[in-house]
Amino acid sequence: MESVIEVRGLNKSYKLPSETIDVLKDVNLAVEKDRIYFIKGLSGSGKSTLLRILGAIDTDYSGEIFFDGKNIKKLNKREISLMRQKMIGFVFQDFHLLGKLSALENVVLPALFADRHYKSIRERAQWLLGRLGLEGVASHSVNKLSRGEKQRVAFARALINSPSVVLCDEPTASLDEKNTQILFDLVGELRAEKPFTLIVVVHAVKLKPDYIVRVQDKKVEVTCEV
């Protein structure tokens, strides 16, 4: 099976003035194309750290990560950001939305950088927001939205460029059961149209993964769910 992301001998530490925190040690992982992965583990075990590295958001680590066969360490900043625009959708645990912009503007923004036709971007953004039950707040500034609404805006933004890999850090943590279902129904529908790899840090959702990635004691272990 073709790997879309391959991790070899990954070590990640955070260096603080007083100490160094080792979070991941000698992690090896092959992420197969178009599969669904759940990342699980205790709070503080390193799930978000791993996700940011897999999404090429954090490149400060030792070891090697290959994305679509390309060694991320060998790419310059511009090449990494182009790759992220084209291939990666990322939902941060704390959303990272631009608070003063509207929901719609936040969703549209990554597509503007990708140099696409504005009318079609706007239509897709409106469609995504509508599917997530946000048509009524599309023009509201993000600062005014509830946490659950922000979470859905962040999700729509991650999908705007139809990425081949979508990484989500607890995308349903602020959602009720109905909106969680709506979000995963949308994921199912989009994946049926055009498959993509989905990597989700998750506690409990109804979607069935192909693999579980467990982060524990600085190590990563992959198990098959099927």
Q: Specify the residue, 48 or 164, whose C-beta has the smaller distance to Mg ion.
A: 48
Minimum CB separation from ligand ATP for residue 16, in Å?
6
Q: Specify the residue, 46 or 171, whose C-beta has the smaller distance to ligand ATP.
A: 46
Which parts of this chain interact with Mg ion (CB under 5 A)? 48, 93
Question: Of Mg ion, ligand ATP, none, which one does residue 41 interact with (CB within 5 to 8 Å by kind)?
Answer: ligand ATP
Which residues touch 9 (CB under 8 Å, ≥6 apart)?
26, 27, 28, 62, 63, 64
The residue number whose beta carbon is nearest to Mg ion equals 48
Question: Of Mg ion, ligand ATP, none, which one does residue 151 interact with (CB within 5 to 8 Å by kind)?
Answer: none
Question: Of ligand ATP, Mg ion, none, which one does residue 114 interact with (CB within 5 to 8 Å by kind)?
Answer: none
Question: CA-CA distances (angstroms) from residue 88 to 5, 70, 137, 160?
Answer: 11, 14, 26, 10
In DSSP terms, 197 is beta-bridged to 165
Whole-number Å distance between alpha carbons of 51 and 168: 8
Measured in degrees and rounded to the nearest 5, phi and psi for residue 125 equal: -60, -45
Which parts of this chain interact with ligand ATP (CB under 6 A)? 14, 16, 21, 23, 41, 43-49, 93
Q: Specify the residue, 58 or 68, whose C-beta has the smaller distance to ligand ATP.
A: 58
